[in-house]
A = this chain, B = another copy of it.
Amino acid sequence: MKYCGECGSQVELVIPKDDNRHRHVCLSCKTIHYYNPKIVAGCIPDLDGKILLCKRAIEPQYGKWTLPAGFMENGESTTQAAVRETLEEANAMVEIQDLYTVINLPHVNQVYLIYRAKLSDEGYSSGVESLEVDLYAEADVPWEHLAFPVIRETLSLYFEDKRAGNFKIRTGEILKKEEGYEMRLHT
């Protein structure tokens, strides 16, 4: 950020009074501009044990597979966001079940909230952000072609908990390392 969204003047990076972090503050109208992490909301659409995955038609990770998920919008709830993303990316209806993961990605300022979901049997097809959408059993998941570590970890945990017959909420963070990443699970 270089200019104030309120008055168009230049901003400077300073620590405001009673704060302890650098913020973009307008030199003219003194507005303080804050940046905060974003929520990525989505779900794991399950139909008879197979999971609906979407092949990305957008960057980043064009051509890689992911779960239906995306940035939560103002004015909606996390479950509404998960339903909307599934409709937009896969033209599919889901019945949202329990919250399954809360995974922090501090290096990109994102928190993933992924719900378990029952996929409607009324079909699915590629939305504008997907090249393909299809159902995958665990053994057939394109594990080497998944878009993000958080998706790989989420799917692994899901199939593990499904085999054990015991879903519990999974929380933690994924930390970027010099080579690869580290997954830290709290629960």
- B residues within 8 A CB of A1? 5-6
Q: Once bound together, how far apart are the Cα atoms of A37 and B37, in whole Å?
A: 9
Contact A3 B2 (CB under 8 A): no
A106 touches B77 (CB 8 A): yes
Whether, in the assembled complex, A141 has its beta carbon less than 8 Å from a beta carbon of chain B, the answer is no
Interface string of A26-37 (1 = CB under 8 A from B): 000000011111
Could you tell me the distance in whole angstroms from the C-beta of A74 to the nearest C-beta in chain B? 4
Q: Would A2 and B2 count as touching, CB distance under 8 A?
A: no
Would A7 and B18 be within 8 Å (CB), given that A37-B72, A72-B37 are in contact? Answer: no
Q: Which residues of B contact A90 (CB under 8 A)?
A: none
- Chain B residue nearest to A80 in the complex (CB): B106
Which of A4, A8, A21, A35 has the most B CB atoms < 10 Å from its CB?
A8
Which A positions have Cβ atoms within 8 angstroms of B?
1-11, 18, 21, 24, 33-39, 71-80, 98-99, 102, 104, 106, 109, 111, 113, 128, 169, 171, 173, 186-187
Q: What are some 24 contacts across the A-B interface (CB < 8 A)?
A: A2-B8, A3-B3, A3-B5, A3-B6, A3-B8, A8-B10, A18-B128, A21-B73, A34-B71, A35-B74, A36-B39, A36-B71, A36-B73, A36-B74, A37-B38, A37-B74, A39-B111, A72-B111, A74-B109, A77-B173, A78-B111, A102-B102, A102-B113, A169-B169
4 nearest A-B residue pairs (beta carbon): A3-B8, A77-B104, A1-B5, A74-B109
